[in-house]
A and B are shown apart, each in its own frame.
Chain A
Amino acid sequence: QKEVEQNSGPLSVPEGAIASLNCTYSDRVSQSFFWYRQYSGKSPELIMSIYSNGDKEDGRFTAQLNKASQYVSLLIRDSQPSDSATYLCAVNMYYGGSQGNLIFGKGTKLSVKP
């Protein structure tokens, strides 16, 4: 069973702090990793993609990937109340060399307190 695991939260951080969201996945051959942000009642919005080990930064967001540990994380610096949302981790798991489909975690709910 191919799985993507996230803590459901809620994760509560004060405004201006760093929010750290974590995700583990079960399939060692996974090659593409994504973070989506979903506001209540809205559809998921892609905010980060990462394909190789290490860090990838985009504005206040940093995605970190460690394939050996099967772990991907998202850091949000200078958290704002507008960052309050559910964050979904998604992993593209390949089957026999052909592109597979995204497997989503159930999401971590982040609350940023003013």
Chain B
Amino acid sequence: SQTIHQWPATLVQPVGSPLSLECTVEGTSNPNLYWYRQAAGRGLQLLFYSVGIGQISSEVPQNLSASRPQDRQFILSSKKLLLSDSGFYLCAWSSLHEQYFGPGTRLTVT
């Protein structure tokens, strides 16, 4: 069966610091991978998606970036965090139509 991991689970970072969130998927090959952000009281916002190694599409221009160095690894990064980057970051994978979410990383920027 497929499993998706995210770490860290929680993170508190000061404004201006860098960020690296990691997501890995087990039990499937060549999945589509996604990064979402869910801010308090708001809906899920798609940030990036990837259909293969090195292939990244950005949905929302901002100070975040994503990379996919391996088939089942997806990384979300920032060079300098803003207060507005606080939120619940979710990685998801899909093979055909259905998407499955990881446990998420709760980021607080102070």
The answer to whether the Cβ of B11 comes within 8 Å of any Cβ in the partner chain is no
Say yes or no: is A101 at the interface (Cβ < 8 Å to chain B). yes
Q: Is the CB of A46 within 8 A of B99?
A: yes
Q: Interface 1/0s, chain B 9-46, versus A by CB < 8 A? A: 00000000000000000000000001000000011101
- Residue-wise, chain B 41-61 has the 8 Å CB interface mask toward A (1 for contact) of 011101001000000000100
Which stretch (B70-78, B79-87, B100-108) binds chain A? B100-108
A22 within 8 A of B: no
Q: Which residues of A contact B102 (CB under 8 A)?
A: 43
Q: Is B66 an interface residue (CB 8 A)?
A: no
Q: Assess the B44–A49 pair: CB atoms within 8 A.
A: no
Contacting residues, chain A, for B46 (C-beta < 8 A): 101-102
Contact B97 A32 (CB under 8 A): yes
CA distance A93 to B7 in the complex (A): 30
Q: Taking CB as reference atom, which chain A residue is nearest B88?
A: A43
A49 surroundings in chain B (CB, below 8 A): 97-98
Interface of B is mostly: strand
* Count of residues in A whose CB is under 8 Å from the partner chain: 21
Q: Give A57 Cβ to nearest chain B Cβ, in Å.
A: 18
Contact, CB under 8 Å: A106 / B100: no
Given A43-B90, A43-B104, A44-B90 in contact, is the A102-B99 Cβ separation under 8 Å? Answer: yes
Q: Contact: A46 with B43, CB < 8 Å?
A: no
Are B103 and A43 neighbours in the complex by a CB distance under 8 Å?
A: yes
A92 part of interface (Cβ distance < 8 Å) = yes
Chain B neighbourhood of A51, CB < 8 A: 97
Residues of chain B at the chain A interface (Cβ within 8 Å): 34, 42-44, 46, 49, 59, 88, 90, 97-104, 106
